[in-house]
Amino acid sequence: MKKIIVIGLAALLAMPMFAWGPEGHRVIAKIAYAYMNKKTIKQVDKVLGKSGLVFWANWPDEIKSDTIYPNSFDWHFQDMDPGLTDEQVANMLIDYPTVGGNMFRALDSLAALLKEDKTNFDALRFFAHISGDRYCPMHMGHLEDKGGNTIKLKWFHTPTNLHRVWDENLIDYRGYSYTEYAQLLIDRFGDERKTIEATPLEELTVNNYHITSAVYAYQELGDTNTYHYVYRWKDTLDHQLFVAGVRLAQSLNEIYK
Ligand SMILES: [Zn+2]
């Protein structure tokens, strides 16, 4: 019995992960609720249930390996080559890349589906989740290392990988509940809300790509001190979570106006 559990756990740890972790998606959803207008909240909660954005925040990850949406695995990320120009990155929002993820196309398609039918339960759940993935730096990682999944690291002596560091380790290290974390980010960055809303999507996407590139460059330094990693990146992580929450609210306000 013990052996089976150990083997099961090993298989789980070996599985590549492709998403902000559960806490990150809940934080983003909670921030979105703070910035959705009343009409939007009413309609969204009618489809998803009260606080449904939070409740369903991780559903798309949970069904990723299921057969009900066999293609949805690719919707959570968009791999990008190193060294792209800003223009090349921005163009990907129009000329969707055909390899290494399908995030941009999926988001546009889901938004279009929702505009057609605002009560589309699955489209709303997917849209809310993947809107968050869009601002996770390692969801625009390199194809060759599966968005950092094959870059092995130690997080305070525990084996992990670069992708998981960004999806979970850095977030979980903070030790906040998702409500505390969301409130802290609203208090800290709330003044930037209007600026973030007014920033073109292309610019936010390019910015995320620049962060991804900086994260990869930091790996080259070979600094294995986890405390250094936290100090270097926690503000960047916090800001991306906030941007994701603001932009999710903005998109839903637009769809449900
Ligand atoms: Zn995801």
- Cα–ligand 1 centroid distance for 148 (angstroms): 15
Q: Rg of the chain over CA atoms, in angstroms?
A: 18
Identify whether 75 is part of a domain.
yes
How many A from CA of 190 to the centre of ligand 1?
25
Ligand 1 midpoint to CA 121 (Å): 17
Total domains in the chain come to 1
Q: What is the DSSP letter of 78?
A: B
CA atoms within 13 A on the CB side of 104: 19
Question: CA-to-CA distance for 141 and 105, rounded, in angstroms?
Answer: 17
Measure 3 CA to ligand 1 centroid, in angstroms: 31
Summarize pLDDT for 139-163 with one digit per residue, the tens: 999 999 999 999 999 999 999 999 9
C-alpha 107 – ligand 1 centre gap (Å): 12
Interval 29-49: pLDDT, tens: 999 999 999 999 999 999 999
Confidence class for position 19, pLDDT limits 50, 70, 90: low
Report the C-alpha gap between 205 and 199 in whole angstroms: 10
7 pLDDT above the threshold of 90? no
Q: How far is the CA of 21 from the centre of ligand 1 (A)?
A: 8
- Residue 3 placed within a domain: no
Classify residue 10: in a domain, yes or no: no
Q: Does residue 83 sit within a domain?
A: yes
Distances (CA, A) of 156 to 70, 129, 230: 36, 29, 11
Q: What is the CATH number of the domain that holds 65?
A: 1.10.575.10
Which residues make Cβ contacts (< 8 Å) with residue 234, sequence separation at least 6? 170, 174
Summarize pLDDT for 166-219 with one digit per residue, the tens. Answer: 999 999 999 999 999 999 999 999 999 999 999 999 999 999 999 999 999 999
Q: How far is the CA of 1 from the centre of ligand 1 (A)?
A: 32
- Which residues, in sequence order, are bridge partners of residue 101? 78
Quote the pTM value: 0.91
- Which spans in the chain are helix H? 2-14, 22-35, 38-48, 52-55, 59-62, 86-91, 103-116, 121-133, 162-164, 170-174, 178-189, 193-198, 201-221, 226-255
Quickly tell me which residue has 């806490």 as its tokens.
23
In the predicted structure, residue 17 carries a pLDDT above the cut 60: no
Ligand 1 centre to CA of 149 (Å) is: 14
In a domain, 4, yes or no: no
Backbone angles phi, psi at 154, to 5 degrees: -115, 130
**Residues 80-91, mean pLDDT to the nearest whole number:** 97
The answer to whether position 127 is within a domain reads yes
CA nearest to 168, candidates 9, 8, 26: 26
Distances (CA, A) of 114 to 59, 71, 77, 79, 108: 18, 19, 20, 25, 10
Residue 142: domain span: 17-255
**Mean pLDDT over the full length of the chain:** 92
- CA of residue 2 to ligand 1 center, whole Å: 31
Check residue 98 and give its pLDDT. Answer: 84
12 occurs within a structural domain: no
Coil vs helix vs strand at 213 = helix
